Amino acid sequence: MSKQRITFLHPGNMGISLAATAQNSGHEACWVAAGRRGQTRTRAEEHGLTELATLAEAAACDAIVSICPPAAALAVAEAVAATGFQGLYLDANAIAPATARAIAELVTGHGMSYVDGGVIGGPAWEPNRTWLYLSGPRADEAAELFVA
């Protein structure tokens, strides 16, 4: 797979470890600064993520990974849909099946490819301690983002 540009919404404790894995797999990891606290900025800078000023800038990326508090997952998907993003949308949130279906319908209705993801374990800093399960038509492609 060629180098991909991936936005992580948002690089919290779990998101930053996924972003680092993507970087170690040869991809560019980005984050959106708008509306984020200083803690997020510090974490993103420590790990060398590319800063995007607004979510609209993420629409030019190849993939967007949503990994945020479950209560925010649908709102994040709605915000991404409003940007016109047309790439791969990986929802890696711990959400109810009904919420996952609603997000899948929303993003595919806006021209994105939807991949459902589930992270099992804590942040992926130690080998073989965290697993990312993926499903959807482009799940194999999404898995290639995290081969390291």
pTM reported for the whole predicted model: 0.94
pLDDT tens track for 39-73: 888 999 999 999 999 999 999 999 999 999 999 99
DSSP strand pairing (63-66 vs 50-52): unpaired
What was the pLDDT predicted at 130? 79
What was the pLDDT predicted at 38? 84
Cα(122)–Cα(125) distance, rounded to whole angstroms?
8
The parent domain of residue 48 ranges over 5-146
**Average pLDDT value over all residues in the chain:** 93
What was the pLDDT predicted at 13? 87
**Count of structural domains, the chain:** 1
Q: Which residues of the chain have pLDDT under 70?
A: 124-128
What was the pLDDT predicted at 2? 93
Q: What is the CATH number of the domain that holds 110?
A: 3.40.50.720
What was the pLDDT predicted at 124? 64
Residue 58 in contact with residue 80, Cβ under 8 Å? Answer: yes
Question: Amino acid identity of 109?
Answer: G
